[in-house]
Amino acid sequence: MSVSADRSVSSESARELLVGLVETPSPTGDEQECAELLADFFEERGREVWIDEVGNVRAPGDDSVLLTSHIDTVPGDIPVRVENDESNRDNQKENEYVAESNSKESQTLWGRGSVDAKGPLTAMAVSAVETGASFVGVVGEETDSRGARHLIADREAPDAVVNGEPSGWNGVTLGYRGFLAGEYAVETDSAHSSRPEANAIQAAMEWWQSVESALADSTDEKSVFEQVTAKPVAFSGGSADDGLSVEASAKVQFRIPPGETAEEIRETVEAELASGGIDWDEPIPPVMETPRSEVGRAFRRAIRRVGGDPRLLRKTGTSDMNLYAGAWDCPMATYGPGNSELDHAPNEHLDLGEFDRAIAVLETVSEILQE
């Protein structure tokens, strides 16, 4: 393993890398060009780096902490531009990155992936170069997490993990709900539409209504994070090609809070089946890390050192951290610049002063964990 003797990355270089990555489209399944750009950044700074067989960018280093985020984005063309805003200057002065950003007007980067998750990805890459920490940029997070799954199968656990997703520069995410997806299908004989018997489309609609009702009964008076939530994401139905039957199918998703299991949800859902059946995908378990872990303490110290008041977060979605927590027995958290409410949004944008501060926090966290 080679680590560059000159680890310095200026704030201008960090921002140039970020803009370059955002300008390079990388929807899931088409990450190669962006991965090459990221690998070049490490190679130019003397770090060992390669793109593995599934497309992950891997730059091994000090395994006291693994910094990792995802390269892929959801689809969407948002014109990439940097806008100046002289009224929104950052006043923190505790770190060289922040000090540099204070000397010029605040800027905002617009573009798909600026928040989810090329801002966190770039901040981690820069921090890995600066501190010598291990780094991996993974693929496929927005769909099947194939990059994270391959990483888990292909390497031993590091001492700690920081996963990259937007949390705000002074926030750290410790919990995510899990994820369960399946596809329901039902078929009935064809009959004239004047007949009173329910067809497959009605059966599918009735099944889903009963599932929602059953799950609602078990989640009364709980916060969203503590609830099982159910969502249909695709529905189709109509006469079969041979004209002899009516078919209907629904793709459905469930979010699993800590304390619940995928098996319990499957049992509840299948108990509502009057007809038809459901095929399940492999579930992703929920995760809830303690704020008293080495990683949690490091983030609180680092955020305060940069002048912030740490916020501990729980997210109602799911991330690759769920998979890492299920496979690796080490402390971890998720962190990154950006407002997560802008994930996948048509107005996705990132304040570059916040990006600078996030780098400062990540460098400090890495240094603390390397002590």
Model pLDDT, residue 105: 52
CATH class assigned to 178-280 = alpha beta
Predicted pLDDT of residue 220: 62
**pLDDT for 5:** 41
**What is the predicted pLDDT for the residue at 160?**
98
Active site members: 72, 141
Q: How far is the first Cα of the chain from the last one, in angstroms, to the nearest whole number?
A: 20
Query: Tell me, what's the pLDDT at 195?
Result: 77
Residues 111, 42 contacting (CB under 8 angstroms): no
Q: Which residues of 270-286 are buried (b: 16+ CB within 10 A; e: fewer)?
A: eebeeebebeeeebbbb
Please give the structure tokens belonging to residue 83. 């806008």
Q: Average pLDDT by consecutive 10-residue portion of the chain (371 residues)?
A: 61 97 98 98 97 98 98 97 70 44 71 98 98 98 96 98 98 97 94 81 95 80 91 94 91 96 96 95 95 98 97 96 97 97 97 97 98 93
CATH of 11-176+286-370, one of 3.30.70.1520, 3.40.630.10, 3.30.360.10, 3.40.50.150: 3.40.630.10
Tokens of 247: 């078919």
What is the pLDDT at residue 334?
98
* Domain parsing of the chain, residue ranges: 11-176+286-370, 178-280
Whole-number pLDDT of residue 241 = 82
